[in-house]
């Protein structure tokens, strides 16, 4: 039986190229035989920058990012 999996999403700012633009962040599911994890990649100035998170770290990462965003918004008011 054939199945499909969406494993990569590119986030970018318009009008950048969604594949090669400077604002592209590639968000993907990955597995290197130790279990599935999330990998973030950015290609900037011909260098690749990578961050990897285990799936059980994602909720805390999202909560932390939202808390920092909210703190920053309060400072700018």
Identify whether 41 is part of a domain.
yes
- Among candidates 28, 48, 24, 25, which has minimal Cα distance to 38? 28
Position 72 confidence tier, pLDDT thresholds 50, 70, 90: confident
SS3 20: coil
Query: What number is the average pLDDT over the span 37-54?
Result: 87
Quick one: which H or E segment has residue 68? helix 58-76
Identify whether 1 is part of a domain.
no
Contacts with 5 (C-beta within 8 Å, 6 or more apart), sequence order: 29
pLDDT digits (tens, 9 = 90+) for 51-60: 999 999 999 9
pLDDT at 29 over 90: yes
Identify whether 2 is part of a domain.
no
**Prediction pTM value:** 0.77
> In which residue are the tokens 């993907």 written?
28
- The domain tally of the chain equals 1
Identify whether 18 is part of a domain.
yes
Task: Give the percent of the chain with pLDDT over 90.
Answer: 62
| Residue 31, domain extent | 8-76
* pLDDT for 45: 74
Identify whether 3 is part of a domain.
no
């Amino acid at each position: 039986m054939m199945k499909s999996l969406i494993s990569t999403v590119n986030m970018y700012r318009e009008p950048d190229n969604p594949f090669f633009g400077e604002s592209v962040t590639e968000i993907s599911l990955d597995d290197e035989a130790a279990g599935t994890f999330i990998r973030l990649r950015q290609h900037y100035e011909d260098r690749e920058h990578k961050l990897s998170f285990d799936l059980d770290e994602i909720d805390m990462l999202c909560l932390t990012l939202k808390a920092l965003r909210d703190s920053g918004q309060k400072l700018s008011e």
